[in-house]
Amino acid sequence: MSTLNFKEIHNKVDANLKECKTLIVNADRKTLIGDAVKYHECIVSKVGNLATWTAPDSTGRSPKDTLFVKRPQSQIHIDWNSPNNLPATESLFEEIFQDAMEKMRKYERIYINDRVIGADSEYALPVKLITPQALTSVFGDNMFRPVPKDLNNSCFAEKPFYLISLPFDKLDEKKYEWKLRKLPNGKTTDKIVLMDFDNRIGIIIGSAYLGSVKKTMFTVMNYYLPFQDVLPLHCSANEGKDGKTALILGLSGTGKTTLSADPRRALLGDDEHGWSNKRVANFENGCYAKMININPAKEPDIFEAVMHKDDYLNHGVIVENAMIYPNGEFDFDDERLTPNSRASYPLTFLNNIKESSVGGHPSTILFLTADATGVLPPISRLDRNQAMLWFLMGYTSKLAGTETGVVEPQTTFSRFFGAPFMPLLPKVYTKMLGDKMEEYDTSVYLINTGWSGGKYGVGQRIDITATRAMVEAALNGDLRNVEYEYDSLFHLNIPKTCPDVDSSILFPENTWTNKEEYRKTAKALAKEFSDHFDKTYGKNDIAPEIIRNCPGK
């Protein structure tokens, strides 16, 4: 298996599958849903969707158990300085691979689903999802796209990816002692999410969180696509009635879902897209939305997509790790199981979508941040180098209550607004963004949905009405020709006016009563930027013109 011949690896998997008891290949949706219920992998809720739960250690991703096989061909492209990119040896892969083959043979049924990742057939990646769980196959049917008739046009047509998901199997602790990480209790982990980019295979053992399936394939696309001159982005995308596409990037809590769900704009997708030399295209067939504290009034489309009533065989929405009562009703405000309850549903369950999930080159890109220090302007325009810097930093504030132990807002940096899923060297993604925004005359704006008039606990959250007005002005081009003022500390271009927005809030210092406290807080945040940049990118080949735009430099 060390020959790096992915076809041989795939042949070994295919041969192993022939030894399994029953293969259910490309079953229709109703069959998969029916089997998931029949074999007690889920229960049917009052409205007909499928409720399921995982063990407490599988209610989210397991980043410390997510590894990339380190091989000569691919290792030179991966940023091993990133704490998110953990290496696995070739020999470890061989052991895990053999374990997976043996575990598959013990099951009564193995489901095989052929799908693709990517709405653009020129780079749609064929994926063969292999799993003993019918519910995992339903998830694949929700999230991955049907194989298009013109798949032969894809650069990956002859290079499929195999994904084996064994969510309820466990690794032998004794066998992998000293080979995998130690848990706080001294035991060896019994789960792994393993990606082999060269052999074009992923293996999930012990992680029942359905997001592991989705995020594995997102990571895989983020590795392969730049070699095809396609920029992968962790973003939502929508299209106006004028046909212009917008991309919205932002970490959890910044308002990405709320701002992308605009009734005047058709949704291409809510999470993962590729930007090629021809167009923007969604990777997925569905959505994987957070359900904790969902408000039907604020997010009616998502709520209706998840909670519409139908016969369960026609439904297929999976609600994962949400509280449900004996009467079959959910309580989405109860987070005793986990604050990460999720729902998986097809895009077609939403009302205002663009069915092709493909749009033109983006005229506008929005970077969202929820700045809890209250010192960033509510909107600023970024030139090429500024955009590359803020893309590289991926800044927001993590608020109290979002994670166990977080009692005060914390500065958070997640490069490219999706650090765990971007395995290549950072200069690859940053340069591609700069080149594309320049070639296609794309405007980039930083939108602060956080605080004004003081830091968190003193100031107020920027009014959503004002934020929507600023977003609208950015999208329709009203901010292209207004006068700007340069902020030399954060290296931002701040508009002096914005339609339907009180100009006094555009410059954050104006909103603070204590000006000295504002300047002190602003300098402290800028220093955090500078320190993080030096610590994280000091050994990377980042262009000087980008470095100069880092706050505090």
Q: Kindly list the catalytic residues.
A: 61, 215, 234, 252, 256-257, 271, 342
Cα(438)–Cα(382) distance, rounded to whole angstroms?
12
**Exposed (0-12), middle (13-18) or buried (19+): which is 190, by Cβ within 10 Å?**
middle
Cα(217)–Cα(449) distance, rounded to whole angstroms?
30
308 in Cβ contact with 360 (< 8 Å): no
86 in Cβ contact with 195 (< 8 Å): no
Longest dimension (CA), the chain: 73
Structure tokens at 352: 């205002």
Q: In what order do the strands lie in the sheet with 492-495?
A: 266-269, 236-239, 245-250, 362-369, 443-448, 379-382, 492-495, 484-487
Cα(5)–Cα(26) distance, rounded to whole angstroms?
26
482-489 contacts, C-beta under 8 A, 24 or more apart: 484/381, 487/377, 487/380, 489/522, 489/523, 489/526, 489/551, 489/552
User: Strands (DSSP E) along 49-167, which ranges?
Assistant: 50-52, 66-69, 86-88, 110-117, 125-131, 161-166
Cα(352)–Cα(518) distance, rounded to whole angstroms?
42
**Block residue for tokens 């999802």:** 129
Q: Can you state the angle between helices 29-38 and 134-143, rounded to 10 degrees?
A: 150
**Block residue for tokens 């009692």:** 407
110 in Cβ contact with 146 (< 8 Å): no
Q: Tell me which amino acid residue 318 is.
A: I
Q: Can you state the angle between helices 90-105 and 6-18, rounded to 10 degrees?
A: 20
Q: Tell me which amino acid residue 454 is.
A: G
Classify residue 297 by its DSSP letter.
T
Structure tokens at 534: 């030096």
Classify residue 145 by its DSSP letter.
B
Residues in the chain: 553
